């Protein structure tokens, strides 16, 4: 579930190739993609995300991808024969260097299951991909005077991008839950935003540490803008707490289930 507004950027389908792969922390692999076509990409920062097409059945299917991923585009995607249809997964722009035409993506490596995580762990320079820019989910209401960001490791690129790009006089809290302390990254946050790194107990579900801390934080619901992303139960749990128990207006909370425990992305 999600109430993120999807923006279909003018750049349409952007073609790129993998340039390098680097393990930034034990469970996070950074893949840098690049190429001349990135000149058409309009970088917006924050948690800007995109649909990433991975040619797991051969690169031919990349040229048959739609320019947009709305209803019509999705139907066009389904018409690409299964044997060459790329797999599409959602990712966040971790960094973009316009002059070099390079875009970094931080992938959580979560074992052998799935497509994107294992792809990131083994991709070699020169492999082609394509992506469709879907804009930013971060959309504070104009009256927001305080911010609360809650994320798990899949939302770490979004949370760190927002903290990096939000106005320097912003105030609030960011709660970032990991399953391994060693996956922390450097944060560039406004002085007025307290960043709380948490590690959930081994064997517990995502949100096991972030939800109790979010409940315990003494935040005034007046003027609060909440942003919760990560495993489905974490994102919807934060939203339920803020709206149902604290009385924060629904429009003041953006949430998105980035992945679901035990289920592949649809």
Instruction: Name the residues that contact ligand FAD, by CB under 6 A.
Output: 49, 89-92, 106-108, 110, 113-117, 154, 157, 256, 258-265
Residue number of the CB atom closest to ligand FAD = 114
From the CB of 230, what's the least distance to ligand FAD, in Å? 8
Q: How far apart are CA 130 and CA 37, in angstroms?
A: 10
CB-nearer residue toward ligand FAD: 89 or 146 = 89
CB-nearer residue toward ligand FAD: 3 or 90 = 90
Q: Measuring CA to CA, how many Å separate 127 from each of 84, 119, 130, 231?
A: 15, 11, 10, 29
Give the Cα-Cα-Cα angle 15, 17, 22 (nearest 5 degrees): 140
From the CB of 28, what's the least distance to ligand FAD, in Å? 8
CB-nearer residue toward ligand FAD: 15 or 134 = 134
From the CB of 244, what's the least distance to ligand FAD, in Å? 23
Burial class (CB in 10 A: 0-12, 13-18, 19+), 153: buried
CB-nearer residue toward ligand FAD: 34 or 137 = 137
From the CB of 220, what's the least distance to ligand FAD, in Å? 28
Task: Using alpha carbons, select from 95, 102, 106, 101 the residue that is nearest to residue 44.
Answer: 95
CB-nearer residue toward ligand FAD: 107 or 225 = 107
Q: How far apart are CA 5 and CA 139, in angstroms?
A: 9
From the CB of 138, what's the least distance to ligand FAD, in Å? 11
CB-nearer residue toward ligand FAD: 171 or 265 = 265
- Say how many Å lie between the first and final Cα of the chain, rounded: 12
Q: Lay out the sheet containing 224-231: strands in order across.
A: 193-199, 172-178, 146-151, 224-231, 253-259
DSSP state of 86: P
From the CB of 247, what's the least distance to ligand FAD, in Å? 27
Q: How far apart are CA 26 and CA 217, in angstroms?
A: 29
User: Which residues fall within 8 angstroms of residue 223, CB to CB, at 6 or more apart?
Assistant: 143, 144, 145, 146
Q: How far apart are CA 19 and CA 41, in angstroms?
A: 17
CB-nearer residue toward ligand FAD: 29 or 193 = 29
From the CB of 236, what's the least distance to ligand FAD, in Å? 13
């Amino acid at each position: 579930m999600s109430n993120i507004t999807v923006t279909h950027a003018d750049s349409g389908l952007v073609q790129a190739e993998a340039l390098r792969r680097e393990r930034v922390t034990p469970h996070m692999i950074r893949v840098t993609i690049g190429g001349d076509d990135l000149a058409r990409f309009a970088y917006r920062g924050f948690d800007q995300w995109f649909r990433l097409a991975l040619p797991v059945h051969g690169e031919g299917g990349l040229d048959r991808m739609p320019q947009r991923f709305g209803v019509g585009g999705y139907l066009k995607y389904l018409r690409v024969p299964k044997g060459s249809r790329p797999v599409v997964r959602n990712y966040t722009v971790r960094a973009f260097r316009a002059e070099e035409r390079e875009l970094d993506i931080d992938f959580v490596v979560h074992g052998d299951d799935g497509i994107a995580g294992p792809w990131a762990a083994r991709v070699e320079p020169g492999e082609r991909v394509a992506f469709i820019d879907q804009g930013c989910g971060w959309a504070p209401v104009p009256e927001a005077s305080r911010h609360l960001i809650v994320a798990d490791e899949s939302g770490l690129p979004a949370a760190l991008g927002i903290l990096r790009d939000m106005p320097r006089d912003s105030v609030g809290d960011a709660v970032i839950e990991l399953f391994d302390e060693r996956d922390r990254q450097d944060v560039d946050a406004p002085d007025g935003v307290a960043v709380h790194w948490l590690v959930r107990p081994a064997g517990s579900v995502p949100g096991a540490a972030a939800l109790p801390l979010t409940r315990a934080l003494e935040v005034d619901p007046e003027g609060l803008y909440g942003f919760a992303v990560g495993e489905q139960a974490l994102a919807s749990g934060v939203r339920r707490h803020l709206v149902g128990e604290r009385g924060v207006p629904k429009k003041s909370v953006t949430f998105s289930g980035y992945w679901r425990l035990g289920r592949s992305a649809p």
